[in-house]
Chain A
Amino acid sequence: MTRAVELKGVSRGYLVRNRFSDRFLALFGKVRQDAVYWALRDVSLSIASGETFGLIGENGAGKSTLLKIVAGTLRPSCGEAVIRGRVAALLELGAGFHPEQSGWDNIRLMGALAGIPAEDTSRYIREVAEFSELSDEILARPVKTYSSGMFMRLAFSAATNVDPDVLIVDEALSVGDLHFQKKSLDRILAFREQGKTVLFCSHNLYQVRSLCTRVAWLDRGRLRQVGDTETVVSAFESYEREKNTGFREMVPGTPFFRNSGKVREAPVRLEYVALEDLEGKVISRLASFQGCRVVVDIAAESSEAPPCHLGVVIVRNDRENIFGTATHFLPEAVPLTIRDRRRIALTFPSLPLLSGDYLLSVYVLDDSGLQVYDQAELVCPFTVIGQGRECGLVYIDHRWEL
């Protein structure tokens, strides 16, 4: 397997202080740490040739800097970036165009910059003109007279007709009118089919899911996670959801234990909550449609503990309740009697949740189901990884009639 792109410990800093001494040192490749903003820190990554690789992250995470380093317009401050083959970057379309020059002149220069050999130049120019669907008469005019749609069509055509080995796409899929958008997307898909390497960066996670085989997640300049698309994208989605909640610090797969220090004055108490697979092993990750059990231990304060009911809610990590059920919802509900300590389990034979991070909330209620004796809210974090390409929260049974 050949590697098309290889980043070894790449960091990229920007000199943000403009003192003479800082600039003078930078001239010789040296910087003081406090004069630098680090856009990328120690990123090591290798992308196999033929892979469609996604890059996701919040704004300012360093995605653009990384793309520019792969494209070759920026150098890493430290580390090494090795790119094999010709790169075409759809970063800022039309960046090298001059408004006063004609379409033809601009194409010619773009071709030379992309390294099209002289003997292929006329073929390249013809192909660009053809793909852009601009007439010869229009191409002879200065590009400043073009509509923005025409300009983007020409820029996209000029950038993608260079037969690249590595294609870098930065949210460039919405170019021109609908007809041309379809054409450009088809072209990117065709690159993929031809076994070219595509590095794709987008905020549109649906597109990332549809196109990419592997994904890297950049977080404040550092590589946070690299792996198969579904795992990384859903982890990122979940991270985005729980932004303003306190769940980020919780460790998945830890059962809930009643902390002895915080004993409530309740006749019955929750002692233990855990999520297990059907074999009885405590788990933190499961696939959609995998079976699992919520295991709850309830303890009675005294021998005359009142009868009670148990409720369990599955909560997504943005505090959205997904599904809640309780023993008193059963048609012939009989309150539970607790003598000393009792283990109760709730089994989901096939959990239809799609990708996401979830938690459990467990409540012990009185026999009317109204008063809460004890509760363990938002415990036992777990991750579900979707198996198909369906998107959303839960899998809803469906049938297509075609």
Chain B
Amino acid sequence: MGKQLQILRILQLWTHREIVSRYAGSVGGLLWALLQPLLTIALYYFVFAVVLKVRIPELASEEGYFLYLLAGLLPWLGLAEGLAAAAASLVANESLLKKVVFPVGILPLSSVLAALVPQVVALAVFLVVLAAVGPLSVQGLLWLPVVLGCQLAMTVGLGMMLAVLTFYFRDLQQLIPVVMQFLFYMAPVLYPRDFVPPQYQGWLVVHPFATLIDGYHRALLDLPWSEDSRLALMLWTLFLGGGGLIGYRRLRRSMGAWL
């Protein structure tokens, strides 16, 4: 028990360091944690709502698209940021790992958490906005902790696995952003699900993050969530979360032994 507490303490202190050191030395400081996603959101909003005039069938107004965009994009930013940081975490701290006795798993874990904290804060603010103007439903909200939990499990498992793999194959550092971008446009974040041609819609279940975004849309905007997508999310969570952790534990041992 004492050992678990100790790990938690290190995790807390390390995550604190991650957050502080990322913005240290910049004039904006922690403000950037807010500013960066806001600018990204503004860009997408302008391109898709104003220029391309994308509308969501269930939320027909321009504000409706804005809410839809936020409901999908806020989690996505946390997810993408967390995975990228986790994958790079061991490589970035390689010299530390060789000099200090360190619970290795903390590094990807804290990367994921450090990315999740601003997302959760942003979601909380978003909920307030929704309560004021939007289609907030209590029934949908019950899904929020479940979906958040799924995201956490997925990103932790996958992030830890990617961290070890990247330690062996640095090439992944180049590959991961490209794959994430690919997955981003394949998921119904910027456009409604119905825009996908019907014959391809069924295929969206093979995209783990698409099912996750479906979940967020259900939880925050009370949009329909298909049975298939819900089941797929559970399976993906199990596979990426559990499988990632098992794979990580298996591969971690050889890491300190040959490299």
Contacts and interface: CB of A to CB of B under 8 A. Distances in A.
Q: How large is the interface on B (under 10, 10 to 19, 20 to 34, 35 or more residues)?
A: 20 to 34
Interface stretch (B12-20, B37-45, B82-90, B218-226): B12-20
A115 B6 contact: yes
Interface stretch (B50-58, B91-99, B207-215): B91-99
Residue among B24, B258, B259 with most chain A CB within 10 A:
B258
Interface in A92-117: 92, 95-96, 98, 100-101, 105, 108-109, 112-113, 115, 117
A77 B258 contact: yes
B259 A71 contact: no
Interface residues of A, number: 39
Contact of A92 (B24, B97, B99, B259): B99
Contacts of A14: 258-259
A341 interface: no
Interface string B2-18: 10011001100110110
A73 interface: yes
A23 B169 contact: yes
Interface in A179-194: none
A113 B101 contact: yes
Given A26-B168, A73-B99, A100 B21 contact: yes
Contact of B20 (A72, A100, A115): A100
Nearest to B21: A100
Contact of B257 (A75, A91, A96, A108): A75
B101 A72 contact: yes
Given A96-B96, A109-B13, A112-B6, A29 B21 contact: no
Nearest to A91: B99
B185 interface: no
Interface in B22-45: 24-25
Interface string A1-43: 0000000000011110000100110111101000010000000
A68 B257 CA distance: 12
A95 B95 contact: yes
A100 B254 CA distance: 32
Given A73-B101, A95-B99, A100-B25, A105 B17 contact: yes
B120 to A, nearest CB: 23
Nearest to A24: B168
Contacts of A233: none
Contact of A95 (B100, B169, B259): B100
Interface of A: 12-15, 20, 23-24, 26-29, 31, 36, 68, 71-77, 87, 89, 91-92, 95-96, 98, 100-101, 105, 108-109, 112-113, 115, 117-118, 142
